[in-house]
Amino acid sequence: MGNLCFSRDLIGLEDEKMASNWKRIMWRFMECATTPLIADFFPVLDGLGLDFQGKKKEAGKCMKKMFEMWGELIRQRREEGENKNYGDFLDFMRKNGLLDVQILYMLLEILPAGSGTLISTIEWAMAELIKNKDSMKKLQKELQDHDILNSNSITESQISQLPFLNACIKETLRLHPPIAFLPHRAQSTCEVMSYTIPKNSLVFVNLWAIGHDPNIWEDPLLFRPERFLTSRLDFKGQDYEFLPFGGGRRMCPGLPFANKEVHLILAALVGCFDWSLPDDGVGFELDMNEKYAVPLQKEKPLLIVPP
């Protein structure tokens, strides 16, 4: 995402201080911005303007720090003038006449959500493949059959030729949707299943529960990508039993980009390295517990090593 927006890696090794600050601020902002607030469930409190949990204030501080970080990158780009053409999103916004403040808010919409969900999905996919060695071997064989293991690279055009890779990603999103509870607001008073939903009420679609429902999925707790090899289910918002990116007009606008990136990154990780737990798992236990956040995170970060 950093390369897409700024033509530089925000979490790379070139500037470890920036990478550390960016990750810490981004995750803290996402945590504050997505923590359920008391006023969300008792609207009468919202009119009082009180921040009972202090999350709005803390999110504001994180946002200010991100704006300062991005503002410096924007300033550097403006000082360069038109001498360099990076062809990135920042160039596009500048050439279309957006003010700095408009650029900052556009970046706020893209970077935290886009980076966090991508990282989380890759981590969960790798954790499930490490835990389920048969699935890992099947994916490696598929990549080998398409000469990806030997070439150490994968192109966008090859994604459609890798059905098991696609199935692994879908199965990861079923078990570990980036957003466990999809929030919406009722535009008018309506009745759903004998419940009256007042206008402006928050309505949460429990994507996590849908993905684990035994009435919909056979053996829902098992990581079994094969279920998607014979299924037409897709995550474009048309199949209500599988909505990791939402649906309708409010579905995730970054779906096309995220879908390609997850496929390319996971294929590169599995195709170029033979991963395992440290010391071949001796003394290490793969913890698959979840931590509620947006995106849905592992309670303990995944620690794996190449040979």
Is 46 in the same domain as 78? yes
Q: Which residues pair with 195 in a beta bridge?
A: 192
Structural domain includes residue 252? yes
Structural domain includes residue 105? no
Say what the pLDDT of residue 166 is.
Answer: 95
Q: Domain tally for the chain? A: 2
Is 236 in the same domain as 130? yes
Structural domain includes residue 104? no
Instruction: Say what the pTM is.
Output: 0.83
pLDDT digits (tens, 9 = 90+) for 138-158: 999 999 888 776 666 788 888
**Pick from 291, 298, 178: which is nearest to 245 by CA?**
178
Is 202 in the same domain as 54? no
Say what the pLDDT of residue 13 is.
Answer: 54
Is 298 in the same domain as 153? yes
Structural domain includes residue 158? yes
Cα dist. 281→9, 127, 130, 258, 266 in Å? 32, 13, 10, 31, 22
Single-letter code of the amino acid located at 184: H
> CB-side exposure of 51: number of CA atoms within 13 Å?
10
How many angstroms separate the CA atoms of 268 and 148, rounded?
8
Provide the token pair at 33: 């911005």
Cα dist. 42→36, 45, 47, 56, 188 in Å? 11, 6, 10, 16, 18
Q: What is the CATH number of the domain that holds 280?
A: 1.10.630.10
Which residues of the chain are modeled with pLDDT < 50? none
Is residue 168 annotated as involved in ligand binding? no
Range of the domain at 46: 1-98
Say what the pLDDT of residue 152 is.
Answer: 64
Given 98, 122, 137, the domain boundary residue is: 98
Say what the pLDDT of residue 53 is.
Answer: 80
Structural domain includes residue 107? no
Is 160 in the same domain as 86? no
Is 88 in the same domain as 151? no
Q: Where are the beta strands (DSSP E) in the chain?
A: 181-185, 190-192, 195-197, 202-206, 290-291, 297-298
Is 4 in the same domain as 136? no
Is 138 in the same domain as 216? yes
Tokens 């014979």 belong to 230
Say what the pLDDT of residue 136 is.
Answer: 96
